[in-house]
Amino acid sequence: MESAATAIRIPRAYVGAPARRPAPFPDNPGATTHPAGTTGATIHPAGTTGATIHPAGTTGATIHPAGTTGATIHPAGATGAAVTLPRGPSPAISPEDGARRSTPPVRPPRRARLCVRIPLAGAPRDGQAVVMTRVYRDEDVTVFRQRAGDWLAADPVLHAVPASLVGQRVDGTVPVEPDAWWLRVCADDGGLLGVAVRTPPHELLLAAMPAEAVAAVADWCLARPARLGGVVGPRVSGDPFVARYSAATGVRAELWMAQRIYRLDAVTPAAGARGAARPAVPAELPVLSGWVSAFAAETGTEVPDARLAERVAAGRLWVWTDEDRAGTGLGVRPVAMNWTSPPAAGVVRVSAVYTPPELRGRGYASALVAATSQAALDAGAAACTLFTDLANPTSNAIYQRIGYRPVADAGRWRFIT
C-alpha cells in the first residue's frame, strides 16, 4: 500500500463527515444537505454563538473523540453545541498539560510516504480546525472493502457504483485489474473522508466527499506519471476535482454527459405496454450482443461480450418480450433490455436500459424497468437506483412516473489535451 499526505483546513460546515450531500430537489424533500448518518453539526467561529476552540495552554475546552463520553466542544465556562469530530482517536487539549494526545492515534499501515504534508493554498486560518489528510492506495481490493465498506454502505444509493464495482471483484464476478486504484482519503487520526476507484481502461470514479478530500485525491493523481483520460462521479466531487486537475495540467475538461442519480423504494406499475418481462436466455445472446453494441455507441460505454454472457447466466439481464408485429413469423421476441447489479448494501442498480429505435415509443423500457425493479425489491433489496442522461428528458420523466426520485446530479468528464 502506498500513501500521500496533505494538510487541509476543514471549513466550519464540515468536520469529520463522509460527504456533503447536494441541495435538495424541489420534488424530493427527503434529500438533505447533511452527510449520511449525521445531523449536520457545525463548528462556530470564535466570538459567535456556539463552540470556541482554545489554543493549548489557555483556559478553554477539551476535545474528545467522537463516539466517546464528552464528544462535544463547549465555549469556556459554558455548555454549548455538540459537534461531530472525525472518527477515531483525536487529540485532547487541556490547560494543564498543553497539546497532548490522550491515546496514541490508530493509523492504517503504510509502505511509503510519497509527499510531505502541505496546507491547501489559500486556506483561511481563523475559526477552522486543522486536519491532516493522507491518500492510501490499497493493493488488495478485499482489504479496501474491509476498510471502506462501511463508509460506502452509509449512503448505498449515492455510492452504489463504487460499492458494486468493489463487491463484484471481491466475490470473483469480475476479474481484478492488476493496475487498479483503490484509494482512501483519511484524516491523520484514521477517520475516513472519501474514496476513489480506477479500473483501467475506465475513468477515475469518485465517491461523494467533501471538496478538501477531493483536492487530496487530485493531488495524488497529479503525482502519478500517467495522465487521466476522464473522471466520473457526483457533481459535488467531480466539479472541484476537474477544476483542480485541469488547472494543474493545462488540459481541457469536457462534461460530455450530465447525469442524475435516482432512488426507488416502491414501484408504481407502468401501464399501457403489451408483453411481459423475464430474464434473458442464452439463445438470445446474438440479438442482445447487437443491442449492447448499439447502446455503447449511444452512451459511450463499453461492455465486453464475455460479461454479457455472464449476466445472462446469472439471471441479471432482463428483456421485455412482445409478439412480433412485423409479420416475420418470429412469434414472441425480446423488444427491450436492461440489467441489474448484485445488491450492494441492500441496493440494486438498474442500468443499460435499451430499446431498438424502431421499437421505441411503445412503453417497453419503462415497463421493463418497473418489472425488474419490483423483482429486485421482491428478492429482498431495500431500494433500487439508476443513472439517467439529463439530455434525455423523456427517460427522466418515465422513471419518475414509475417511482424513481432524484437524489443527486452526477457527470462524466473527458480530459482533452
Please say if the pLDDT value at position 7 is more than 60. Answer: no
Three-state DSSP class for 337? Answer: strand
Higher pLDDT, 302 or 117: 302
Q: What's the pLDDT tens digit per position in 133-181?
A: 899 999 999 999 999 999 999 999 999 999 999 999 999 988 999 999 9
**Residue 189: per-residue pLDDT:** 85
Question: Which residue type occupies 279?
Answer: P
Please say if the pLDDT value at position 371 is more than 70. Answer: yes
Please say if the pLDDT value at position 11 is more than 50. Answer: no
Residue 272: band (very low, low, confident or very high) from pLDDT cuts 50, 70, 90: confident
The domain in which residue 314 lies consists of 276-411
Residue 70 lies in a domain: no
Question: Which residue type occupies 334?
Answer: P
Q: Average of pLDDT values for 48-68?
A: 40
**Residue 86: per-residue pLDDT:** 37
Report the C-alpha gap between 274 and 208 in whole angstroms.
40
**Residue 142: per-residue pLDDT:** 98
Residue 310 lies in a domain: yes
Please say if the pLDDT value at position 103 is more than 50. Answer: no
- Rank 54-58, 189-193, 409-413 by mean pLDDT and report only the highest: 409-413
Q: What is the 3-state secondary structure (H, E, C) of the chain?
A: CEEEEEEEEECCCCCCCCCCCCCCECCECCCCCCCCCCCCCCCCCCCCCCCCCCCCCCCCCCCCCCCCCCCCCCCCCCCCCCCCCCCCCCCEEECCCEEECCCCCCCCCCCCECCCCCECCCCCCCCCEEEEEEEEECCCHHHHHHHHHHHHHCCCCCCHHHHHHHHHHHCCCCCCCCCCEEEEEEECCCCEEEEEEECCCCCEEECCCCHHHHHHHHHHHHCCCCCCCEEEEEHHHHHHHHHHHHHHHCCEEEEEEEEEEEEECCCCCCCCCCCEEEECCHHHHHHHHHHHHHHHHHHCCCCCHHHHHHHHHCCCEEEEEEECCCCCCCCEEEEEEEEECCCECCEEEEEEEECCHHHCCCCHHHHHHHHHHHHHHHCCCCEEEEEEECCCHHHHHHHHHCCCEEEEEEEEEEEEC
Q: What's the pLDDT tens digit per position in 180-220?
A: 999 999 998 889 999 999 999 899 999 999 989 999 999 99
**Residue 271: per-residue pLDDT:** 82
Residue 280 lies in a domain: yes
Please say if the pLDDT value at position 353 is more than 80. Answer: yes
**Residue 198: per-residue pLDDT:** 98
**Residue 111: per-residue pLDDT:** 38
Residue 107 lies in a domain: no
**Residue 110: per-residue pLDDT:** 42
Report the C-alpha gap between 318 and 277 in whole angstroms.
7
CA quadruple 101, 105, 111, 112: dihedral positive or negative? negative
Average pLDDT, rounded, for the chain: 77
**Residue 324: per-residue pLDDT:** 67
Q: What's the pLDDT tens digit per position in 376-407?
A: 999 999 999 999 999 999 999 999 999 999 99
Residue 322 lies in a domain: yes
Please say if the pLDDT value at position 348 is more than 90. Answer: yes
High-pLDDT (> 70) share of the chain, %: 66
Using CA atoms, how far residue 161 sits from 214, 215, 265, 339, in Å, is: 17, 21, 18, 14
Q: How far separated are the first and last CA of the chain, in Å rounded?
A: 31
Higher pLDDT, 2 or 197: 197
Overall domain count for the chain: 1
Report the C-alpha gap between 258 and 263 in whole angstroms.
17
Residue 45 lies in a domain: no
370 CB-near residues (< 8 Å, 6+ apart): 267, 268, 269, 270, 402, 403
Contact criterion met (CB below 8 Å) for 354 and 338: yes
Residue 90 lies in a domain: no
Q: How many CA atoms lie within 13 A of 39 on its CB side?
A: 4
Please say if the pLDDT value at position 70 is more than 50. Answer: no
Residue 290 lies in a domain: yes
Question: Which residue type occupies 82?
Answer: A
Reading the block at residue 13, the C-alpha cell is: 460546515
**Residue 13: per-residue pLDDT:** 36
Please say if the pLDDT value at position 319 is more than 50. Answer: yes
Q: Of the given ranges (81-85, 171-175, 224-228, 276-280), which has the lowest mean pLDDT?
A: 81-85
Please say if the pLDDT value at position 230 is more than 90. Answer: yes
CATH number at residue 320: 3.40.630.30
Higher pLDDT, 170 or 100: 170
What does the chain come to in residues?
Answer: 417
Report the C-alpha gap between 150 and 94 in whole angstroms.
33
Higher pLDDT, 143 or 95: 143
CA quadruple 290, 294, 297, 302: dihedral positive or negative? negative
